[in-house]
Amino acid sequence: MRKCLILLLLLSISFSFAINVLIPVGPTVVAFVGLMEKKVTSEVELKVDFWRTLDQVSAQIAAKNVDLIVLPVSIGASLYSKGIDLRLAGVILWKAFYVVTKDFDLTDLKALSGQEIYTPQGKGQTGDVLIRYLLEKVGLKPDVDAKIRYATPAEIVSLMGAGKVKVAVLPEPYVTLALKQAQARMEYDLQELWSRYTQLPARIPITGLFVAKDLDQATLHKAMTAIENSLKYAMENRHEAASLSVPHLGGMSAQIIEESLTRTLYEYKRASDVASEVIQYLKITQQVDPSAMPSIPDEKFFAF
């Protein structure tokens, strides 16, 4: 009898074990809402929580309170280069960034000479790296021939609507928000421009899923499969995924979110399968802003 009770206790503990997944506050929730709202099944329990600052991410990793973390690929690589135990399991976001304008005729990228270009957050972030790289490719010096300014995506849309910003690099769903609320115009798909100048596919390893703990391979595989299915759910059920995401996105309308998904690509790719694309992107990040990418990670950076 006692052995049976011990066995039952052990089984209950094993079944209560959850994989803690940390995702950023914001649009990434669309990719995980299938899991969060039980529209996608998982063979292991996944507990999704949110991070707001990199300090919070570092603290959670140090305390070993998180198993998987969703981060911009460049930020995850930078943390890894600083000795933080993170490994890239896969890339989940490949398409999101566009150049939008308001009351400005952008005939080609050279027309950005003399302009102020707004991009989200700060130097070294994805939008900043992309526009600096592309400016250099057409012979313009960032911060000399064209000024780069920073604000939050919501602030940029607001400033654009007020006529105070003419050119911006934005990710979805803020591109759609700018088109609808600021009467902006979408000028360039940055993924297409990236492909033109790098000869790589028209996609960018924007956001990755990182392993922060040593999990057994079987458990990790089950978690990855569930997350991959959640991404597929968002892409294949845009209307429902958009509606379910509204409470998590500060009141952004379901219509805006749904339309934004037509210009977004969430797709899970194993890190080892796209390692060359990731490394080239990180090398360009380092070239554009060495402080954002002190060193290129070694092969141990790739978990699979």
Q: What is the reported pLDDT for 5?
A: 47
Would you state the pLDDT for residue 33?
97
- CATH of residue 128: 3.40.190.10
Same domain, 157 and 288: no
The last residue of a domain, from among 140, 165, 198: 198
Domain identity same for 166 and 85: no
101 and 79 within one domain: no
pLDDT of residue 13: 42
Give the C-alpha distances (Å, rounded to integers) separating 65 from 73, 164, 213: 21, 43, 9
What is the C-alpha to C-alpha distance for residues 85 and 68, in angstroms, rounded to an integer? 11
243's CB contacts (< 8 A; 6+ apart) are 254
**Same-domain status, 244 and 295:** yes
Verify that 59 and 112 share a domain, yes or no.
Answer: no
All residue ranges of the chain with pLDDT < 70 are 1-16
Angle between helices 29-36 and 217-236 (to 10 degrees): 110
Do 221 and 260 belong together in one domain? yes
State residue 9's pLDDT score.
Answer: 44
Same domain? 258 vs 210: yes
**pLDDT given for residue 6 in this prediction:** 45
Of 171, 216, 200, the C-alpha closest to 280 is 200
Same domain, 106 and 185: yes
Give residue 2's pLDDT.
Answer: 57
As a whole number of Å, the CA-based R_g of the chain is: 20
User: In this structure, are 86 and 233 located in the same domain?
Assistant: yes
Instruction: Decide: 277 and 90 in contact? Cβ < 8 Å.
Output: no
Q: For the chain, how many structural domains are there in total?
A: 2
- Which tokens hold the place of 230? 């959640």
The domain boundary residue, chosen from 198, 232, 256 = 198
Same domain, 153 and 218: no
Can you give the residue range of the structural domain that contains 6? 2-94+206-301
Task: State the pLDDT at residue 303.
Answer: 86
Its pTM stands at 0.92
- The answer, yes or no, to whether the previous bond of 173 is cis (omega within 30 of 0) is yes
The answer to whether residues 65 and 211 belong to one domain is: yes
| 169 and 30 together in one domain | no
Last residue of a domain, one of 170, 198, 226: 198
